[in-house]
Amino acid sequence: MNARLRQFLVAVGETFWLLPALLVVVGILLAVGLVELDRSGLVPHWLIDSPFLYNGGGTGARTLLGAVASSTIGVAGTVFSITIASLSLAAGQMGPRLLRNFVKDRGNQFTLGAFLGTFSYALMVLRSVRTQGEGPFVPHAALTAGILLAFLCVGVLVFFVGHMAGRINVDTVIELVSEDVTRAIRRLTSTSAPTHVAAPTFTDAVAAVADPRRGYLQELDADQLAGWAAAHNCTIQLLVRPGDYVFPGAPIALAEPTRDGIEPAIRRATALGGQRVSRIDLEFAVRQLVEIAVRALSPGINDPHTAMSVLDRMGAALCDMVPRYLPHGLIERDGRAVLIVPTVDYDGLVDAMFHLIRQNAAGSVAIMIRMLEVLIAVTGVERVPERLQVLRRHADLVLSDGERDVTTPADLDDLKDRYRRFIAMQTIGPISVLERETG
């Protein structure tokens, strides 16, 4: 699929207005359908005279529908105000980049859509009601459905209050963002080792391909671009990866040999936007969690427990990575690498998880200890030597910062004790560590 088309479809699917608009359309169609059912005379008189359907006159019907319409549109405005207030609170405490998680929340969208849909339904039914002097017509089935929709809106309002109270809880937000990280790991990594492909060697004939656009790389159709490169017998190396910012006029790729039409081919296979997204950018999904922790460690908030919760999710994400492999970014056609895409590696991913938190936790013994405990847990399940070296490097950095910033001897001893446990976990394994501690 063309990258721009995919970007458009994903953007539409994540917009706040789509579900409310669909529910408004559903309300209008339902009103038209039920009014036509009443006009057709298919509703039996015994059912109309029963207590199960509305059986009042035209004046009462107009009053009822007017009350439903005015109350639902009023509550819809209140719901919108509560949503904006919640977004402002979340932006101040957890960062403005997390607002997307609130905007694309289906619970908020459904609540607003339910009230707007009921309002539209009531208006459409109201226009068909006729009193005695106008040629009486009362759509009994449609009015009964309007009463049921009004009661449904009462239930939706109760749901919304509880839903928003839970959504602005920081632990809930952390869990939601960590689920984004988990989904990104499953989507962007594989359980089988990538096939080894020999990296191509560029010569002096390589040429740079400039791009006049600007923005973050949000979508990349690598298969399409690799197919174009194979069809034109050339090799393309992208200089940006998903999530990187493309500067206007700067080189976006290298090509050897250069071919006519390579610039349009790259533009068709890529889509830029004004912000990073986590669909194809694993590092950005991680950085959203990191932002929560960094803000929690700021002097204005000073909430180390939130930062510890983020570190726990980071450790869980690294444990999810144990049986999985990151892509190497080499795409081949007919046994030859035709496209090279920069990708995030394990080293860079762990750096994104821990560097900012460690740097902003200078002097906070509790955060440093928790970071070492998370590294101990990950080391207990990770067996790849290269990855263990990365974890060891971060443990060394935590100890180094502690020796420089922690002045209380007892706190420093606690930190060194966690570091010794980390080293023991790497060298002798979890079972031997347990035997040593209990023996």
Residue 245 pLDDT: 93
Give the residue-averaged pLDDT of 330-349.
Answer: 87
* Mean pLDDT computed over every residue of the chain: 85
13 pLDDT more than 80:
no
Tens digits of residue pLDDT in 222-265 = 888 999 999 988 899 999 998 899 999 999 999 988 888 899 99
More confident residue, 105 or 361: 361
Strand order in the sheet with 235-238: 207-210, 251-256, 235-238, 336-340, 330-333
Angle between helices 282-296 and 170-188 (to 10 degrees): 160
Tens digits of residue pLDDT in 14-38 = 778 889 999 999 999 999 999 888 8
Residue 161 pLDDT: 84
| Residue 337 DSSP label | E
Residue 128 pLDDT: 87
198 pLDDT more than 80:
no
- Position 113 confidence tier, pLDDT thresholds 50, 70, 90: very high
Q: If you average pLDDT over each of 5-14, 168-177, 401-410, which comes out highest?
A: 401-410
- Do residues 403 and 365 make contact, with C-beta atoms less than 8 angstroms apart? no
Q: Where are the alpha helices (DSSP H) in 127-271?
A: 140-167, 170-188, 222-231, 262-269
Tens digits of residue pLDDT in 270-312 = 999 888 887 788 888 898 889 889 888 888 778 899 999 999 9
d(CA 108, CA 394): 40
Tens digits of residue pLDDT in 121-149 = 999 999 888 876 666 788 888 888 999 99
- Do residues 223 and 358 make contact, with C-beta atoms less than 8 angstroms apart? no
d(CA 289, CA 40): 58
Domain ranges of the chain: 3-168, 184-192+283-327+344-438
d(CA 406, CA 395): 16
d(CA 34, CA 107): 27
